Amino acid sequence: MKIRKELWFGLGLMGLILVSIAVFMPWGSLTNGHLGLLMLALIVVAIMLGFPTAFTLMGMGVFFAWLSYNSVNPDLAVRQVLDLMVQRAYSVMSNDVLIAIPLFVFMGYLVERAALIERLFRSLHLALARVPGSLAVATIVTCAIFATATGIVGAVVTLMGLLALPAMLKAGYDVRLSAGAITAGGCLGILIPPSVLLIVYGATAGVSVVQLYAGAFFPGIMLAGLYVGYVIVVAKLKPALAPKLSEEEARVPVPPSLAPLAATSRNAFTGLLAAVGGRSLGVPAGTVFGQLFVSLVPALSIIGLVWVIWIGATKPVEVVDTTGLQVSGFAADTAGTGTGLAEPQGAGTGLAEPPASEAEETTSGTGLAEPPSDQGGVAEPPAARAAATDAAAPETAVEEAPAAAAAERLPAPTWFWVVAAIASAFGVLVYVLWTWQRLEIFKMLLASFFPLSILILAVLGSIVFGLATPTEAAAVGAFGGFVLAAAYRYYGHLREARRGAAVSPTARTLADLWDIIKESSFLTAKTTAMVCWLFVGSSIFAAAFALLGGQDIINRWVLSMDLTPVQFMLLAQGIIFILGWPLEWTEIIVIFMPIFVPLLPHFNIDPLFFGLLVALNLQTAFLSPPVAMAAFYLKGVSPPHVTLNQIFAGMLPFMGIQVIALALLYIFPGIGLWLPQTLYR
Amino acid sequence: MQRFLLTVDKLSTLVGHAFSFLIVLLTLHVSWEVFSRYVLGAPRAWAFDGMIMLYGTLFMMAGAYTLSKNGHVRGDVLYGFFEPRTQATIDLILYFLFFIPGVFALTYAGYFYAAESWAINEHSNITADGPPVYPFKMVIPIAGAFLLLQGLVEIIRCVICLRDGAWPSREEDVEEVDVEKLKEMVHADEAMLDAGAVVRETAR
């Protein structure tokens, strides 16, 4: 039989495992623990055979669980195995972390079907026209946002392959650079929350999904930023690989209705103001006011932002009160006016913040350092605490003020005025640069970039700031995705109707929506069934592994190696990296995390931090040949002259960046841990 | 034979499609609960139980559907490169080795698990006066039975493939990455934008 070249890799790996089983197993004196290890090695081989993993795990688990029970009491073994199975299955069915998966997946499919990626890409590419390598940068940013909202690698890479690849190739971009930008960008959705991977990790390792989301946010942004930085540097150093857009391509046409105004003034804002003042040059007043309103959106949002910060900065009155009450509740020696009533409230807060501080956190990002229940005997009011976390914070009188004394709005601290000044300067700058072209670009962004970013940030923000559980946020996000899809479809049909399509836009939108809901539901059912049945299988498998005591052997073995935490970390990440070749991320997490996570306390590694590293690490699995899914999706839709090897070559630098990001996160854990620690500790 | 296969496929698909609408229900249920709790200040005690049951039923009942569409994740490092006959041989062996014992045990155990729950009229104890749990537990044996039936069909598929050297056909269904559809989506939008540009040009 002739064996194809591609098979050698997998067969070699498989042979290696089987040989090491044969060599290292103490065949003479098999204990149950050794059986556990055997089971672990065999499962890798069995999964590589390609049978649906959920059932591989289930069948293997049943068999080995029976072996384990049989060694104790053969009479009860069958009964116990059956009980174990059904209880495991039921525990997955009633798992309150996994519920968020179908909801996020559903949200993803709905957003994908809103058909806004084209607008998103176009508006971003025009907005970024001055940046070197603008098309590739726009590709990565589009991918990052769209992949974050949908989380579907295949669809994002395919869509961008259809959209961005021809655009980049036409503009004379290097094939490899283009392919790398698309594939690497499309995989960002795995890491940037709300991602399903982090839920799966959280459910497996028993880490709070909320903290994982808070922790993965900045590493995700950092990775996207590194990609963008790399593309810009390449475009600067080797312009031949990413030529500048011609003036013609970067130009945004000003709509004819506004052309007379645009001809007379450079700045759109002053032009529109003049038009309101009477120099309308035949442009209808409705159009002028409409454009003026759009122009005012940045100003309004800046004012709104500053206002919210002001509320947060000057209104910690209630928080101060609760703090005082709690302190008196916990430590009676503090001079407080407290009643005992507040104590249970404070004790019960846990991770949730007091409501008054939320507004500030949402906007300013400085955040309160701790929930009130953590503040032992310190009577420092949160206003001062917030000020202290701010780099530019001067001492204010608030610090000395006793907590209960403050009854009205506090005077705004100096840092607030600094922020306000910066914001207003920014606002002025925006309006100085507010040309007609930029107004057009802003309108395009308003119709594509902002709705999606707001949806993501709202979902993420409400989770991270403790306003809603991931499940609730996911459901509301799915609802938002539906509204988004409805709005975009309706808008599209409305435009067609204006051009003379016969059917009414409402009827067509409703028909569309029915299709969208139907398809999204079916796809969600399939994806959820895939992930959750895998969980059923793996939890039965994990139970069998634990019964056999395989974990003990691994623990003893790892501890006997006497590794330093750094060595352990490198070993663990190395193993995960290697497993990323033959296995999918779902399999790696559900099968191998239960083995790694119990080892973490020995090395004083935070499971949260470990999870972030794993998530970043598994990104590379999507880009590493020969099984990089992203490459095959791209190949499927690229023009014939783009070869798979070119795509792989294009992905390599981005893989390198991922390794750098992994190292950065390891060296500076603060990148990931700062936000969760600020919010929840 | 092919007719029988497709009939079972259709049955699994029908069940899967029917239950997949639970996700819409789940979305509305949780969204409403959020609204009701935060805005109306009226949380519903059974909301959490409802959530769990919708989610659990959704994925369990979609198991057979997913199998009928070959949607369960496979380790793809070797499988995709095998000849169909090799694939069928491996699948056939492993269906008997892993699938049948595993799923059969689950169904069998699930039946008694649910029957026990039914016999004692078990109610959820997450909140006082929780909803009954036994219908939810009944989902395990029912989903298992559908899965077994679909597994039987897959086994027959393997045999046919061994005989013919090619996989028998499956029912069409929505795909996650349906290139044609995605193309349409992109081009529909593009045509729209182009048309918009044309309108603008002519107006000028």
Distance between A236 CA and the closest CA of chain B, angstroms: 30
Over residues A16-38, the mean pLDDT reads: 78
- pLDDT, residue A377, reads 39
Name, of A84-88, A112-116, A303-307, the range with top average pLDDT: A84-88
Model pLDDT for residues A219-249, shown as the tens digit of each residue: 999 999 999 999 999 999 988 888 877 776 6
Residues A69/A547, Cβ–Cβ less than 8 Å: yes
Over residues A309-321, the mean pLDDT reads: 62
A90 shares contact with chain B (CB less than 8 Å)? yes
- State yes or no: cis peptide before A451, omega within 30 of 0: no
Model pLDDT for residues A531-552, shown as the tens digit of each residue: 999 999 999 998 888 888 888 8
Model pLDDT for residues A456-470, shown as the tens digit of each residue: 888 988 888 888 889
Distance between A376 CA and the closest CA of chain B, angstroms: 30
DSSP string, chain B: -HHHHHHHHHHHHHHHHHHHTHHHHHHHHHHHHHHHHHTS----TTHHHHHHHHHHHHHHHHHHHHHHTT-S-B-TTTGGGS-HHHHHHHHHHHIIIIIHHHHHHHHHHHHHHHHHHHHTT-B--SSTTPPB-HHHHHHHHHHHHHHHHHHHHHHHHHHHHHHHSSPPP------TT-HHHHHHHHHHHHHHHHHHHHHHHHH-
The residue of chain A nearest to residue B75, with distances taken between CA atoms, is: A50
Model pLDDT for residues A151-172, shown as the tens digit of each residue: 888 888 888 898 889 888 888 8
- pLDDT, residue A255, reads 75
Over residues B58-76, the mean pLDDT reads: 88
Mean pLDDT for chain A overall: 79
Residues A164/A184, Cβ–Cβ less than 8 Å: no
Model pLDDT for residues A511-525, shown as the tens digit of each residue: 888 988 998 999 999
DSSP string, A214-267: HHHHHHHHHHHHHHHHHHHHHHHH-TTTSPPPPHHHH--PPPGGGHHHHHH-SB
Q: How far apart are CA A165 and CA A182, in angstroms?
A: 8
- Residue A118, pLDDT above cutoff 50: yes
Cβ-Cβ contacts under 8 Å, B140 against chain A: 86, 89-90, 93
- pLDDT, residue B187, reads 65
- Residue A382, pLDDT above cutoff 80: no
% of chain A beyond a pLDDT of 90: 19
A138 shares contact with chain B (CB less than 8 Å)? no
pTM summary value: 0.82
A624 shares contact with chain B (CB less than 8 Å)? no
Model pLDDT for residues B131-190, shown as the tens digit of each residue: 888 899 999 999 999 999 999 999 998 999 998 888 887 777 777 777 777 777 766 555
Cα Rg of chain B, angstroms: 23
Cβ-Cβ contacts under 8 Å, B24 against chain A: 517, 521
Q: Give this complex's ipTM.
A: 0.90
- pLDDT, residue A366, reads 39
- pLDDT, residue A372, reads 41
B173 shares contact with chain A (CB less than 8 Å)? yes
Model pLDDT for residues A570-612, shown as the tens digit of each residue: 888 888 888 887 788 888 898 889 888 888 888 888 999 999 9
Model pLDDT for residues A486-506, shown as the tens digit of each residue: 988 888 888 878 877 677 888
Cβ-Cβ contacts under 8 Å, A526 against chain B: 16, 20, 62, 65-66, 69, 71, 176
Model pLDDT for residues A266-299, shown as the tens digit of each residue: 777 777 777 777 766 777 777 777 787 888 888 8
Of residues A361 and A664, more confidence is placed in: A664
- Closest residue to B81, CB basis, from A7, A519, A526: A7
Residue type, A670: G
Model pLDDT for residues A406-458, shown as the tens digit of each residue: 456 777 778 888 888 888 888 888 888 777 778 888 888 888 888 888 898 88
Cβ-Cβ contacts under 8 Å, A528 against chain B: 23, 58-59, 62
Going by C-beta distance under 8 Å and a sequence separation of 6 or more, which residues neighbour residue A637?
A158, A161, A162, A165, B179, B183
- Give the sign of the dihedral formed by CA A499, CA A503, CA A507, CA A508: negative
Subunit contact A475:B29, Cβ cutoff 8 A: yes
Model pLDDT for residues A325-379, shown as the tens digit of each residue: 444 434 433 333 333 333 333 333 334 344 444 444 444 433 333 444 444 334 4
Where along chain B do its domains lie? Answer: 2-173, 178-204
Question: Containing H/E element for A170?
Answer: helix A153-170
